[in-house]
Amino acid sequence: MTENHGQIADLKKAIEQTQDLPAIPALAVRLLNLKGDENAGVDDLAGIIELDPSLAGQIVRYATSPFFGYRGQVGSIREAVARVLGYERAMNVAAGLAIGKAFSLPLEGPIGLTALWRHAVYTAAFMQLLAEAMPKALKVKPGLAYLAGLLHNIGFLVLGHLFEREFRLLGEKLGSDTDRPWLEIEKQLLGADHTEIGVWLMRAWHMPPEVITTVFEHHNENYRGQHAIYANLALLANRMLRRRGIGDAAHDKLPTKLLADLALTEPRLADIFKKLFESESSLEAIAKEMASGV
């Protein structure tokens, strides 16, 4: 790949033609396949999760976090699924965590694994809380919102997997040029941004359309197309997290029209955001495990 006037040429073409896209982890495939199995139940899901001890530990930790206010003991994956998380939410959360294991990149830097997974975990958890606050008529699925949030910035991981040199150059530029939006820097340096790169992989992996839309549109406050609510919630989550110094949002201003369209207010959003950080220790632990690949 050549560099021309500061821009890396034909990144899109290189990704589309590569035979080296990472394979979706087999465990994630098994989890996502449960979506189409009408006969599958809690025992089937628990059995798959238990195949990976670290994943099982993360699911139990998540179920016992303050999110759910469950005061009983969670002694098994089956209890975490049946009593606390619910089947669909547990399936999507587990699939997202399993997918995270497909990538191994440097830990440090603005797009190193430590920062990326911290942002992803907080975004996923906040989107889940926001989804739960949505009117039932909108049929927003909290587990799917979690999965979309966890994977919304997966384009950075794809870039690091396929193009180590370009990933390093981008990390250095993002670290030194802190006054410009990341998307602007990505476009200038790479000719593409992480939303485009991530979509190529999500489509290749046949991920749910809600996830694909979130990956591509989570920086677009005007998007109102199909599955917009998941992308819109990701945008709100990103801008709120910016207030805590987490993530890549260009600023923390909340779009008034978008809030109105989602029947949300800034005070309501602030209350949900406060609830998110009641689980800070659990979220930090999950993010650390994701980054380390444990």
Residues 178 and 266 in one domain: yes
Boundary of a domain, candidates 102, 136, 152: 102
Residues 46 and 93 in one domain: yes
Q: What letters, b where the CB count within 10 A reaches 16 and e where it falls short, cover 3-23?
A: eeeeebeebeeebeeeeeebe
Confidence (pLDDT) at 12: 67
Boundary of a domain, candidates 77, 102, 127: 102
47 within 8 A of 55, measured Cβ to Cβ: no
CA distances from 204 to 159, 198, 266 (A): 15, 10, 37
What is the average pLDDT value for the chain, to the nearest integer?
Answer: 89
Residues 129 and 164 in one domain: yes
What predicted TM-score, i.e. pTM, was given to this entire model? 0.89
pLDDT single digits (tens) 221-257: 999 999 999 999 999 999 999 999 999 999 999 999 9
Confidence (pLDDT) at 288: 87
Residues 11 and 156 in one domain: yes
Residues 70 and 171 in one domain: no
In this prediction, residues 60-71 reach a mean pLDDT of 82
Boundary of a domain, candidates 50, 74, 102: 102
* pLDDT bracket for residue 2 (50, 70, 90): very low
Using a pLDDT cut of 90, give the percent of the chain over it. 59
Which element (helix H / strand E) includes 203?
Answer: helix 194-204
Residues 84 and 129 in one domain: no
Greater pLDDT, 262 or 286: 262
Confidence (pLDDT) at 9: 47
Range of the domain at 87: 23-102
Query: What's the number of domains the chain is made of?
Result: 2
Residues 28 and 114 in one domain: no
pLDDT single digits (tens) 5-57: 334 446 766 776 666 677 888 999 999 888 778 899 999 999 999 999 988 98
The overall longest dimension of the chain from CA atoms, in Å, is 61
CB-count exposure of residue 178 (10 Å: 0-12, 13-18, 19+): exposed
Residues 41 and 147 in one domain: no
CATH number, domain containing residue 190: 1.10.3210.10
Q: What are the DSSP calls for 112-167, one per residue?
A: SHHHHHHHHHHHHHHHHHHHHHS-GGG---HHHHHHHHHHTTHHHHHHHHH-HHHH
Confidence (pLDDT) at 24: 87
Q: What letters, b where the CB count within 10 A reaches 16 and e where it falls short, cover 154-170?
A: bbbbbbbbbbeebbeeb
Residues 115 and 95 in one domain: no
Residues 243 and 131 in one domain: yes
Residues 192 and 95 in one domain: no
User: If DSSP codes are grouped into helix, strand and coil, which group holds residue 8?
Assistant: strand
User: If DSSP codes are grouped into helix, strand and coil, which group holds residue 277?
Assistant: helix
Residues 198 and 128 in one domain: yes
